[in-house]
Amino acid sequence: MHKKNYHHGDLKPALIQAGLDILEEEGLEGLSMRAIAARVGVSHTAPKNHFDGLHGLLSAIAAEGFRRHAAEMQKDVEDAPPGRERLDAACVGYIKFAREHGAMFRLMFSPRFNKKAEEEELATAAASSYGVLRGIAEGLNWQRPGPELSPELEAMRTELMLWVFVHGYASLVNEGQMPADPDGKPLFDVLELMPQFDYGN
Amino acid sequence: MHKKNYHHGDLKPALIQAGLDILEEEGLEGLSMRAIAARVGVSHTAPKNHFDGLHGLLSAIAAEGFRRHAAEMQKDVEDAPPGRERLDAACVGYIKFAREHGAMFRLMFSPRFNKKAEEEELATAAASSYGVLRGIAEGLNWQRPGPELSPELEAMRTELMLWVFVHGYASLVNEGQMPADPDGKPLFDVLELMPQFDYGN
DNA sequence: TGTACATCAGTGAACGCGCGTTCACTGATGTAC
DNA sequence: TGTACATCAGTGAACGCGCGTTCACTGATGTAC
User: How many other C-beta atoms lie within 10 A of the C-beta of residue A23?
Assistant: 22
pLDDT confidence of residue A198: 56
B164 chain-A contacts, CB cut-off 8 A:
165, 168-169, 172, 178, 193
Strand partners, A140: A199
Q: CA B130, CA B74: separation in Å to the nearest integer?
A: 11
CB contact under 8 A, A113 and B166: no
User: Average per-residue pLDDT in chain B?
Assistant: 86
Residues B144-169: pLDDT tens digits? Answer: 666 777 888 888 888 888 899 899 99
Classified as helix, coil or strand, B7 is coil
Contacts 24+ apart (CB under 8 A), B83-89: B83/B139, B83/B199, B83/B200, B83/B201, B84/B191, B84/B197, B84/B199, B86/B136, B86/B139, B87/B136, B87/B139, B87/B140, B87/B194, B87/B197, B87/B199, B88/B190, B88/B191, B88/B194
User: How many other C-beta atoms lie within 10 A of the C-beta of residue B139?
Assistant: 16
Secondary structure element (H or E) that encloses residue A128, with its range? helix A120-138
Nearest by CB: B144 against A165, A172, A196: A196
Calculate how close chain A gets to B133, using CA atoms only, in Å. 15
Asked whether the CA dihedral A36, A98, A187, B141 is positive or negative, the reply is: positive
pLDDT confidence of residue A201: 38
**CA quadruple A126, A30, B110, A162: dihedral, nearest 10:** 20
Secondary structure element (H or E) that encloses residue A141, with its range? strand A140-141
Strands A140-141 and A198-199: antiparallel
Footprint of strand C, using CB within 7 A?
A: A 6-9, 11, 37, 42-43, 45-46, 49-50; B 3, 5-7, 30, 32-35, 44-45, 48, 53-55
N- to C-terminal Cα separation, chain A: 51
CB contact under 8 A, A164 and B102: no
Residues of A from 37 to 56 whose C-beta is within 7 A of strand D: which are they? 44-45, 48, 53-55
Is the model's pLDDT at B83 over the cut of 60? yes
Q: Running DSSP on this structure, what letter comes out for residue B135?
A: H
Q: CA B18, CA A143: separation in Å to the nearest integer?
A: 48
Q: What is the pTM of this model?
A: 0.91
pLDDT bracket for residue B121 (50, 70, 90): very high
Count Cα atoms within 13 angstroms, Cβ side, for B192: 15
Strand partners, B76: none
Strand partners, B140: B199
- CA B188 to each of CA A12, A71, A109, A154: distance values in angstroms, whole numbers, following the listed order: 41, 29, 21, 11
Residues B37-82: pLDDT tens digits? Answer: 999 999 999 999 999 999 999 999 999 999 999 999 999 999 999 8
Residues of chain A with pLDDT under 70: 1-4, 115-116, 142-146, 180-201
pLDDT confidence of residue A118: 79
A110 touches chain B (CB under 8 A): yes
Asked whether the CA dihedral B132, B136, B139, B145 is positive or negative, the reply is: negative
Nearest by CB: A114 against B161, B176, B187: B176
Do residues A37 and A15 touch, judged by C-beta distance below 8 A?
yes
For residues A20 and B196, the model is more confident at A20
Q: Which of B85, B160, B86, B88 is closest to B130 using CA atoms?
A: B160
pLDDT confidence of residue B135: 94
pLDDT bracket for residue B187 (50, 70, 90): low
